[in-house]
Every structure is written in C-alpha cells, then in structure tokens.
C-alpha cells in the first residue's frame, strides 16, 4: 500500500488499521496498533505529551450518545525522538494501541467480509488487493486510521503555537440544520474559541447545537445516520506561504483535507458563492491598518494566488453520513458475484462530525507548518529585503463584513 506519508519538510507517516494484527484480544491477539512517525520536529523542544493526548481525546469514540460505542482509550506512547523530556531532532514515534477488539465484533465483520457495504471502500479494496484486503472494521479505510493523523497533527500544533498560529474547527451544519459560521460573517473567531467543545457535537452556535443533537437522536432511533459540515479557521498564519503554481498552500490543504475518508466536498472562504457573484461583490478590498495591509472582507478565505494573504484561513467541509446503517440495502457478494441484502449490525457513529473536526485541524496544521518550513528556507537563501517578511507577519484579525 502506497501513499502513507504526507508533507515535504514536516512529514507524518502513519500505519495501522481498525482492528489490526490478530484482530481479537479475546483469542490471544495483541489487538493491533496505530502509529505515526513525525519527521521535521526541531531539537530541544519540550514536547507536551499531555497535549497530544488531549487532541486524541477529541476524536476518541464512546464519549457521548452521538458516538460509536466502541471503547477505545487511545492512549499515546512516545517511543522515539525524546530524551529527558526534550526532542532530539530525531523522528518522533507515536504509538496508540487498539484495545476494544472483542471476538463478537470481529465475527460480525467476518460474516459480511465478502459483501460490499454501500458507501464503504470494500469494492475498491477488492479491485486493488483482491481477497487479501483487511476486512475487519474496514482496515486501513476505517475512520480509525485518522488516529495517527491526529497524533502527528498534535505535534504540528505545538510547533505552530510557538509561531502564534492557532487552528480550530467546529460543526456548522447537521442533517440540514445550519448554525452560524465565520465564513458567513455571522460568527467570529473569538466566539468559536469561547464555545469550542461546549457540547457533544462541538457546534459553537449553542442554541442550534441543541436542535442538531435532538434531531440526531431521532435519526439514531430510525437506524440511520446523518451528514453535516464543519468549518476550520487557522489564525495567525503569515502571508506568502505556499508556491504560486502546483504547490499552492490552498492546493496542499485541499490534498490534506480531501484525503480524509468521510469528506465529500470542500470550500475555501465563501466558496460556491463566487459562481453567482460580480467581481465588485467578490473582491476583497485592501486597506491600511497600523501600517499593515488588511482586507475589508474575506471571501477568498485568506488566500490570494493560492498563497496565504495574512488573514484568517477559512475552510468548510461537507461530511458524508456514516455509511454503516441498520436499514436494509442492496449489495453484492464479491466472492460469488450474487446480489445480496445487507443490514449492518456493527458499531457506528450517528454522525461523523463531532469526531472528524480534530482530524481536519490536524491536516491543516501539518500543511501550514510544512509551508512555513519551506518559506523560512526560501527566505534564508534568497535574502529578500526583510521589510517584506515583516509586512507578511499576521496582524490582528477582527470580524469581517459579509
């Protein structure tokens, strides 16, 4: 399997599956593990392992009625790259063990291992790996794969914090119920930060969160699942990150976010509103504020020419409904090539939204940090007049005019 490393200077390499080696602990197996190797961590940095754990706790299952009841502890072990609490400059190795891998759940997957679950990746796994692909809990195609991303992203966040960069995401829509958002100009970053994780859904529009959660509990009773949307904001990102052509920061972030399995669509800033706008409506007009260039609006989501422009980076993701549902659906048995019916009984989330937002934060953090490394290297060699780097430093961002 290829494509398990992301980044160019700051890199994360992940491995591990939903259940993993020997699958079941009941039958004497080790339950499998997930692992992330982080390259590009500077030496002499005090790595806050407790903070990595807090990031992992955000996506850990079994914490509310909205989550899968799977009881994973997701406890991180730092197994390399640290000496007496400080980073050495060597790769940082992060290990997270699977612990809730009971025989009963393994057998549930075994019973349908040859059957394509609608909206899952099994069909393409048969095409790509034949009958030897991992069928237990979707293997590498499981949402559990994202544990490694969050662990690596937690390291990126700690390095970015030294640069004054902060990345937050929150739920802005669930099953058609829409909350306020930064991209719509109806919420600002400070409100997102104040209400962050104030409820099980992590919707920062608190009155709408109550409506969303009540609706999701009805969806669960019907044996179904629901989609939604999240918004990601990166504040404090310097201007000029990314390259003008193939390696635009916008393109790199799109790569990172669209590599998350449950993501169905992506918008930057006002996104699709551009299709119906006039240039006079869409253009973000610059002005001077305390010697810095600011923009009166942020329709472009903090990007110009695909590079950061010093304003908040703002992105929105459409998240598909959890594909495993209890309702009967049509499918195909890949070993017999016969039509079948399937009503899954395995564990699942009603909605992926409250557990996918830390994954999105991690991917954006990795992309921004990688671009920052490249930019610092370029400036160090190119010897551009320092005044441009000074002007490119982020400034205070307030609420934008819609």
Among residues 379, 358, 385, 237, the alpha carbon closest in space to that of 303 is found at 237
pLDDT greater than 60 at residue 22: no
Among residues 116, 145, 143, 134, the alpha carbon closest in space to that of 33 is found at 145
Question: 375 vs 17, 64, 367, 372, 396, CA distance in Å?
Answer: 34, 42, 12, 5, 21
Range scoring the smallest mean pLDDT among 35-49, 58-72, 224-238? 58-72
The rounded distance, in Å, linking the Cα atoms of 380 and 238 is 16
Per-residue pLDDT band for 397 (boundaries 50, 70, 90) equals low
Per-residue pLDDT band for 65 (boundaries 50, 70, 90) equals confident
How large is the average pLDDT for residues 307-334? 92
Residue ranges of domains in the chain, CATH in brackets: 5-392 (3.60.150.10)
Among residues 203, 199, 143, the alpha carbon closest in space to that of 168 is found at 203
Q: Which two tokens stand for residue 246?
A: 């193939």
What does pTM read for this prediction? 0.92
pLDDT greater than 80 at residue 361: yes
SS (H, E, C) 246-292: CCCHHHHHHHHHHCCCCEEEEEECCHHHHHHCCHHHHCCCEEEECCE
Range scoring the smallest mean pLDDT among 18-32, 98-112, 295-309, 364-378? 18-32
Q: What is residue 244's predicted lDDT score, i.e. its pLDDT?
A: 94
Question: Percentage of the chain surpassing pLDDT 90?
Answer: 66
Per-residue pLDDT band for 207 (boundaries 50, 70, 90) equals very high
Q: What is residue 50's predicted lDDT score, i.e. its pLDDT?
A: 96
Q: What is the pLDDT of residues 86-135, one digit of tens each?
A: 999 999 999 999 887 777 777 777 888 888 888 888 888 888 888 888 88
Per-residue pLDDT band for 158 (boundaries 50, 70, 90) equals very high
**Pair 79, 94: CB distance under 8 Å:** yes
How large is the average pLDDT for residues 159-171? 97
Per-residue pLDDT band for 345 (boundaries 50, 70, 90) equals low
Q: What is residue 17's predicted lDDT score, i.e. its pLDDT?
A: 87
Q: What is residue 276's predicted lDDT score, i.e. its pLDDT?
A: 97
Q: What is residue 387's predicted lDDT score, i.e. its pLDDT?
A: 85
The rounded distance, in Å, linking the Cα atoms of 71 and 60 is 8
The rounded distance, in Å, linking the Cα atoms of 309 and 394 is 9
More confident residue, 312 or 1: 312
Q: What is residue 401's predicted lDDT score, i.e. its pLDDT?
A: 40
Contacts of 365 (CB under 8 A, 6+ apart): 153, 156, 157, 160, 165, 167, 234
Range scoring the smallest mean pLDDT among 202-206, 275-279, 395-399? 395-399
How large is the average pLDDT for residues 176-203? 96
Q: What is residue 335's predicted lDDT score, i.e. its pLDDT?
A: 87
Mean pLDDT of the chain: 90
Per-residue pLDDT band for 67 (boundaries 50, 70, 90) equals confident
Range scoring the smallest mean pLDDT among 71-75, 103-107, 386-390? 103-107
How large is the average pLDDT for residues 233-242? 96
Q: What is residue 269's predicted lDDT score, i.e. its pLDDT?
A: 96
């Amino acid at each position: 399997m290829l494509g398990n490393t992301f980044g160019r200077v700051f890199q994360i390499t992940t491995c591990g599956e939903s259940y993993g080696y020997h699958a079941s602990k009941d039958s004497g197996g080790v339950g499998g593990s997930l692992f992330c190797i982080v390259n590009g961590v500077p030496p002499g940095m005090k790595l806050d392992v407790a903070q990595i754990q807090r990031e992992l706790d955000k996506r850990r299952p079994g914490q509310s009625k909205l989550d899968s009841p799977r009881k994973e502890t997701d406890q991180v072990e730092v197994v390399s790259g640290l000496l007496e609490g400080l980073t050495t400059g060597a790769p940082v190795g992060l290990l997270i063990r699977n612990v809730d891998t009971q025989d009963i759940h393994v057998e549930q997957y075994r019973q349908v291992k040859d059957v394509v679950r609608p909206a899952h990746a099994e069909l393409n796994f048969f095409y790509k790996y034949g009958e030897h692909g991992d069928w237990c809990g979707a293997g590498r195609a499981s949402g559990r794969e994202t544990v490694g991303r969050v662990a690596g992203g937690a390291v990126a966040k700690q390095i970015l914090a030294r640069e004054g960069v902060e990345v937050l995401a929150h739920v802005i829509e669930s099953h058609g119920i829409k909350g306020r958002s930064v991209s719509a100009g109806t919420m600002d970053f400070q409100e997102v930060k104040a209400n962050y994780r104030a409820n099980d859904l992590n919707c920062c529009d608190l009155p709408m969160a109550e409506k969303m959660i009540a609706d999701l509990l009805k969806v669960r009773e019907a044996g179904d699942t629901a989609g939604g949307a999240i918004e990601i904001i990166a504040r404090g990102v310097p201007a000029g990150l990314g390259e003008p052509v193939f390696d635009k920061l916008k393109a790199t972030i799109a790569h990172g976010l669209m590599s998350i399995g449950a993501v169905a669509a992506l918008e930057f800033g006002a996104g699709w509103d551009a299709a119906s706008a006039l240039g006079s409506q869409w253009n973000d007009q610059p002005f001077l504020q305390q010697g810095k260039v600011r923009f009166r609006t942020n329709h472009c989501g903090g990007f110009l020419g695909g590079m950061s422009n010093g304003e908040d980076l703002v992105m929105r993701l459409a998240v598909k409904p959890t594909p495993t549902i209890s309702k009967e659906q049509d499918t195909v048995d890949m070993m017999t090539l016969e039509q079948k019916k399937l009503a899954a009984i395995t564990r699942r989330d009603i909605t992926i939204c409250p557990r996918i937002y830390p994954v999105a934060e991690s991917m954006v953090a990795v992309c921004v940090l990688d671009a920052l490394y490249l930019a610092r290297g370029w400036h160090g060699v190119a010897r551009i007049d320092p005044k441009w780097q000074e002007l490119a430093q982020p400034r205070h961002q307030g609420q934008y005019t819609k």
